[in-house]
Chain A
Amino acid sequence: MIALLLLLIPLATGLICFGLKQGNAAKHFSLLASVATLALALVAVYTPTAIGYDTAWLSDLGSRFTLKMDGMGKMLCLLTAVVYPLIFTAVYRNEYKNASAFFGLMLLTQAGLMGVFLATDALLFYFFWELALIPVYFLCSLWGGEKRIAVTFKFFIYTFIGSLLMLVGLLYMYFQTADHSFSINSLYAVKLDAAHQSLLFWLFFVAFAIKMPIFPFHTWQPDAYEQSPTATTMVMSGVMVKMGIFAVIRWLIPMFPLATVQFSNTVIILSVIGMVYASFIAIRQDDIKRLIAYSSIAHIGLMSAAIFTNNSSALNGVMIQMFNHGINVIGLWILADMIEQQLGTRKLSELGGLAQKAPAMAILLVVMALANIALPLTNAFVGEFLMFNGLFRYNIWIAAVAGISIILAAVYTLNMVQKIIYGNLSVKTENAIDLPLNIKFALVIIALLVIVFGVFPQPMIELTKDSVTALFVKK
């Protein structure tokens, strides 16, 4: 029942939001709704037993409405639930035209995300996969930057092609199941020969790779992140990219174990190319949003490479990092949004000296930046350490190349910090003031999470342990 409520609360409140006449009412209502979801998610996380919900849906098609939460599901639902109140707090002072529609669509996206992480029926999963996409399309196209229409369209077509290929793969798998069903266990039980596995592997993988995104499917991402309204960018880069990683672990690897072994080298090399390539581009960026976008590609590349190393400690690292990257990147986006709202620019070359004017912001930015570099004692360190550990055991040369991206991450992140908070004041930053209370509140919570999980990562590892073991048993 809790699982169902996690889905229904954002869905119902999202629909109610559309009906609210006043923008402010919608803002308060959606904040309240997201806090309620968070409370529920915490209850779910602390429920030791398995949580699920199951009812008949499309019996003709062999599909049931089945939700189930394992450790990974709990962790990602928690991430989705944590992120939303933070986002709504951070954008509390922003003015959106037609705010009730904006917050309604945001909550519908949350419902879609929850569904993706909860569904254990493949067709249901597909439905939520799309449900998460469509509101984002409208959010970006309606409230985004000037090039929003073309950019969002590219994003939509990309992901839609991916979804359709996945649908073909799903259909094929469905007819291979013994009992003609979409349930996850029936799909896991299908034993295909290697040739079919390799074809189907790619049908699914392309869909997930576009979502993550992995080189060379990433071209939609920097533009989309840059042009979207920042609240939506936060959802996209904080949570939506995790859909791809989650789907690889939940669906792809257990269904096609032979093909996973066969292609793991290809995927790892693609991911590592993406990491290094994105890091180099990030160095050259002048726009804060684009810089964070490329840095995000590099981080995701590491996660995707680590999944395919076939190493349980690396997979543990991926689990922790999924949560932590979500938190950290949102911290960075909140700061980027704050700078843009307050100073009217996102260009590093036009910023400088903010440490004098806004000391609180400077401190918090440094914390987020250090977490982005994965310095020890920040939350990202544990995850990246475990993932690199796995990559080293897989192939030392690949790990060495991937290691370059760590150095580069320090280069571009510290360069950004330096240009924003040090140096002389510029025309734009002369009249800067410190963080407003709501943003300070959101960022302090994120900073606390960064440090707490950096010092004490064990609970997160415990939470997702069952998913990691399950994957290795299945293989």
Chain B
Amino acid sequence: MNAIIVSAILGVVMMFSGMFTKHKSTITLTAIAALFILLGANLLNSYGIFSIQVNTHELLYFNKLGLYFNTILIAATLIFVLLSGREIENVGINTAEYYALIFFVLCGTTILTSFNGLLMLFLGIEIMSIPLYILTGAEKRNLKSNEASLKYFLMGAFSTGIMLMGIALLYGATGSFALSGQSVLPPSVGIPGASFLQAGGLILLFVSMCFKVSAAPFHFWTPDVYDGAPTVFTSFMATIVKAAGFFAFIKVFDANAALLGPSWKILLSIVIIATLFVGNITAVFQRSIKRMLAYSSIAQAGFMLFALYSYNDMAYQGILLYTVAYCLATIGFFAVLMKVKDYTFDGLNGLAAASPVLAFAATVFLLSLAGIPLTAGFFAKYYMLASVVKAGGALWIVIAAVLFAAVSVYYYFKVIQSMYFKEGQPELNEISTGFKVGVLLLAAGIITIGVLPSIVLNWLYF
């Protein structure tokens, strides 16, 4: 409960911080301090030292996994603000509000890691999404940003409608919002076609969750929104928000998937393959790195969906590891990208000569995203694939996935080629020493997890 309450309060605090100071860097510092407080509050809760007790009438349920996931997401946000705080300040004049919205998003994500019923799921998703619509349109005078915001809002509202419809059908069939899908209606109350209603509800829920995590064929908003939004918020959306969406997705279908019978695996296989296909193949043809990353984030979602496919202990460990690996690498790479003025592949030509540190760190991030051994990304993909094999899944889907992973190497390595093997004079923004140290530490962290993934997973058990 700590994280939900503290993040909501800190959001309000951040909103008012703009009244007391006009210095943007002071506001950023306040946000960093606030994130540390939030992280501390969540850790106190995880270790059972202190937690705020509120009777939620079983609408919320806190377990080790969820709290640990909170820690990961808050820590990722902290790294994000530490590396890219300067860029948040540069978006516009309302720095305090941006931070406030980020905290509200975090409030939503903390609900998504602890909901114990469809009602709270809905609330969590909405609390998380609405601030994002605003953040997407934060560049008021940029037409693309406006367009992205409107598009995101309309599509988001539409998918929320579908989700509500699904929840309504489920409620109608079972008489409860419980995740288990067990009917609480007395046998005397006969609902005609209850199982049919339930299956329909679940499918609608599935569609809306697919939309939130940008799985194909519900991904069409993603490239436009990620491309149009201010880059710094794209980084936030593509990592923390998406990971939280996945966590909720997995949690909802953990108990429910069985109700859909064997068709569930078929449905999911189609979505996974379509997502991997669309994400990877389209990313190959992009000229802008930012847009390429949008498609690559769709492709990565395809891999994360394997956790739903297998549902075993390795799947849960895998989604944790995947979240860590993917968030760190993507946040790091976006942070480097924002230091370059031109987001096309050619804009990075010769970066290795201009700034060896940035190029090296970016290379580690890209290798991790591509899933090359010795980086965290390898074990992320490894756990996902292993969980499917362990669950006795068809080997063809695993083989298809690794072939798409090989395709992803193509577009990630194109960036490395630009940085190292092509001549050019990239136009760079001012780069501070602190930033260089930061990205190097992040790269070192990714390699460390790549050699010893247990340092992430062991936390789950202590």
Q: In the bound complex, how far is the Cα of B409 from the Cα of A246, in angstroms?
A: 26
Q: In the bound complex, how far is the Cα of B389 from the Cα of A131, in angstroms?
A: 25
Within 8 Å of chain A (Cβ to Cβ): is B92?
A: no
Q: Are B373 and A149 in contact (CB under 8 A)?
A: no
Chain B residue at minimum C-beta to C-beta distance from A149: B421
- B window 89-123: CB within 8 A of A: none
Q: Are A157 and B421 in contact (CB under 8 A)?
A: no
Q: In the bound complex, how far is the Cα of B413 from the Cα of A141, in angstroms?
A: 12
Within 8 Å of chain A (Cβ to Cβ): is B457?
A: yes
Within 8 Å of chain A (Cβ to Cβ): is B437?
A: no
Q: Are B453 and A58 in contact (CB under 8 A)?
A: yes
Q: Are A160 and B373 in contact (CB under 8 A)?
A: no
Q: How many residues of B contact A (CB 8 A)?
A: 28
Q: Are B390 and A153 in contact (CB under 8 A)?
A: no
Chain B residue at minimum C-beta to C-beta distance from A148: B421
Supposing A167-B385, A171-B389 touch, asked if A130 and B373 sit within 8 A by C-beta, the answer is: yes
Q: In the bound complex, how far is the Cα of B363 from the Cα of A142, in angstroms?
A: 15
Chain A residue at minimum C-beta to C-beta distance from B391: A175
Residues of chain B contacted by A127 (CB below 8 angstroms)? 373-374
Residues of chain B contacted by A58 (CB below 8 angstroms)? 452-454
Contact with A along B371-401 (1 / 0, CB 8 A): 0111000000010011001100001001100
Supposing A156-B413, A157-B409, A160-B409 touch, asked if A171 and B398 sit within 8 A by C-beta, the answer is: yes
- B window 105-151: CB within 8 A of A: none
Residues of chain B contacted by A130 (CB below 8 angstroms)? 372-374
Q: Are A157 and B410 in contact (CB under 8 A)?
A: yes
Residues of chain A contacted by B431 (CB below 8 angstroms)? none
Residue in B382, B395, B406, B420 whose beta carbon sits within 8 Å of that of A160 in the complex: B406
Residues of chain B contacted by A203 (CB below 8 angstroms)? 399
Q: In the bound complex, how far is the Cα of B453 from the Cα of A59, in angstroms?
A: 10
Q: How many Å from the CB of B341 to the closest CB on chain A?
A: 24
| Residue of A58, A168, A174, A203 with most chain B CB atoms under a 10 A cut-off | A168
Residues of chain A contacted by B405 (CB below 8 angstroms)? 164
Q: In the bound complex, how far is the Cα of B402 from the Cα of A156, in angstroms?
A: 15
Q: Are A165 and B385 in contact (CB under 8 A)?
A: no
Within 8 Å of chain A (Cβ to Cβ): is B403?
A: yes
Residues of chain A contacted by B390 (CB below 8 angstroms)? 175
Chain A residue at minimum C-beta to C-beta distance from B371: A164
Residues of chain A contacted by B395 (CB below 8 angstroms)? 168, 172, 199
Residues of chain A contacted by B417 (CB below 8 angstroms)? 141, 149, 153
Chain A residue at minimum C-beta to C-beta distance from B390: A175
Residues of chain B contacted by A194 (CB below 8 angstroms)? none
Residues of chain B contacted by A168 (CB below 8 angstroms)? 385, 389, 395, 398-399, 402
Contact with A along B334-367 (1 / 0, CB 8 A): 0000000000000000000000000000000001
Q: Are A131 and B374 in contact (CB under 8 A)?
A: yes
Q: In the bound complex, how far is the Cα of B457 from the Cα of A59, in angstroms?
A: 12
Contact with B along A133-151 (1 / 0, CB 8 A): 0100010011000001100
Interface residues of A (CB under 8 A from B): 57-60, 126-127, 130-131, 134, 138, 141-142, 148-149, 153, 156-157, 160-161, 164-165, 167-168, 171-172, 174-175, 199, 203
- Which 6 pairs between the two chains have the least Cβ-Cβ distance? A164-B402, A130-B373, A161-B406, A171-B389, A141-B421, A127-B373
